[in-house]
Amino acid sequence: MPRRSPRRLLGVLATATVAFTLFSPATPAGAAGTATPAAGVAARPLSTATPVVFVHGYTGNASNWTTAMSVFRLNGWSASNLFAYEYDSYGDNVTNARGLAAFVDNVKARTGASKVAIVNHSMGGLVSQYYLKVLGGNTSVSHLASIAGANHGTTSAGACLSYTTCQQMYPGSSFIAQISSGDETPGTTRYATWYSACDGIILPYTSTRLDGATNNNVPCQTHIGYLTDTAVLGQIARFVAS
């Protein structure tokens, strides 16, 4: 079959966004398999002092995180500790990861924090994984939450292979091999993922899972729908606070 053009892919994503807005259920889908503390064992105290850096997906931007930031504020975060990193979706994810490294260093300098938490979506998973694993960023990251991350690639990237980022996002690429070989969850960082069979963009949908992470199977949520799913975003806020 002929490859779809990048413009057609953007149209598909835009259509998915509109469809979710019009037809989303009143109660967002929740992640399955969340651990419950054993009887008689006190839960860890939650901390909302850690700055959070949000990393968008392919063709995304900072506005993707409007709902997420609202959820984090409702869970105790100060707006001054919530940051959105933007990068070039059509460039190179190695460059994007280096930009993330500089952004994290800047956040640490501004807030005085020794570590940040990272919450990513879609291709932001690749940017984050390269930063943590290849560039050694795990020493600066307390928690990594990957929402529908393209962590092992997605065949949907076949529609935009004229761009380096999409070549890197395609399963079997040398970029994917580099971030998935050996330990996928290095350092003392706590890792968690959220993935769903209803994703529709991350193909196969299990690509998001990381060995060594807490992998949460969401019963049914679309790729774009996660960005406004307050139930899942609330779980992520509590994970980052743990």
Catalytic residue positions, numbered: 122, 199, 223
């193909």: which residue's tokens?
203
Kindly state the helix (H) or strand (E) to which residue 18 belongs, with its residue range.
helix 6-23
How far lies 133's CA from each of 27, 175, 179, in Å? 36, 12, 7
Query: Which residues make beta-bridge pairs with 145?
Result: 119, 192
Residue 163: strand, helix, or coil:
coil
Q: What is the distance in angstroms between the CA of the first residue and the CA of the last residue of the chain? A: 47
Cross-sheet strand order for the sheet of 82-85: 82-85, 52-55, 116-121, 141-147, 190-195, 214-217
Query: Which residues make beta-bridge pairs with 47?
Result: none
